[in-house]
Amino acid sequence: MASSTPNLQNRSFRRQTLTNADFHGADLRGADFRGAILRGATFRGARLGRSPWQWAQLIAAIALTAWLTGKAVTGLIFAALGQPMQDTAGMLVIVLHSVSLGTGAAIALPSRYRIAVGSGGVGILIGFFYGGTWFDQALMPAMVGAVLGLSLGVGLSGRWRSGLGAIVGPTAIALTSGGAVFLLWTTAIAGLTTGHPLGWAFTLLTLLYFAITGQWTGQIEAAIAQYGGTSFQDADLTGADFSDVQGGLVHWEGAIGSNAIAPPTKP
């Protein structure tokens, strides 16, 4: 098989029976062998790990999320700075501070609620920003956008537990939490400059949210480390030959016979 079609990147062999199959020298980056029967299969000299297509998806997902969320968060921050606490401007300041702080604080929740609450917060800010921007800064479209964004964020959060979703969700939340750090720091600077005792309180809050943002960043790194690669999860690898493989990111979880296989597993 491999000798005639060595390039098998991103191919799915999920749950197939491939006893004694020959993948000698094949490029299996991004291939999916989850649940496959691979007893006695030959993978000698095969290339495993994350495929170029998976790298492209990963980079595009992070870049798009950073652009969409970053534009909304920074746009709201600079629109809110120095605004009086009244009318539409006051509503913007309240929404921005409340939601960005709450979004970051979602890290303290149990894992099954963490992404849902954080994604809902991101959705509110994105909906508020783009709803207002598309309708000449009017408050009502911004509020409608916030409600729609909340619903969409919470609704999508169930899908953001694996694959690219596990990267997109924490990336958007980390950027929003970073916005909270900036807001708190500007308030702290103002307080410290004028000698107000709240300046020190906001300095401590700034440090706290800096640490919280770091925790969200850690979740992004963990999700990136698990995304893509060649997967042998729950496969039967009894007697399979993995000698001289060119290793990359490989998933062995639940595979039978994987204890005797030790190729490199770097991304």
Which of 64-68, 81-85, 143-147, 224-228 has the lowest average pLDDT?
Answer: 81-85
User: Which residue reads 């990359």 in tokens?
Assistant: 248
Query: Nearest Cα to 232, choosing from 216, 215, 245, 221?
Result: 245
Total Cβ atoms within 10 A of residue 35: 17
pLDDT at residue 218, rounded to an integer? 96
On the question of pLDDT at 264 being above 70, the answer is: no
Which of 83-87, 107-111, 210-214 has the lowest average pLDDT?
Answer: 83-87
On the question of pLDDT at 174 being above 50, the answer is: yes
Q: What is the mean pLDDT of the chain?
A: 88
Q: Kindly state the tokens that stand for 89.
A: 């401007």
Highest mean pLDDT among 17-21, 160-164, 194-198: 17-21
pLDDT at residue 83, rounded to an integer? 62
pLDDT at residue 82, rounded to an integer? 67
pLDDT in tens, 2-16: 445 589 999 999 999
Question: What are the beta bridge partners of residue 12?
Answer: 32
Q: What is the mean pLDDT of residues 166-185?
A: 94
Query: Nearest Cα to 256, choosing from 45, 42, 38, 47?
Result: 38
On the question of pLDDT at 58 being above 80, the answer is: yes
Determine what percent of the chain is predicted with pLDDT higher than 70.
91
On the question of pLDDT at 257 being above 50, the answer is: yes
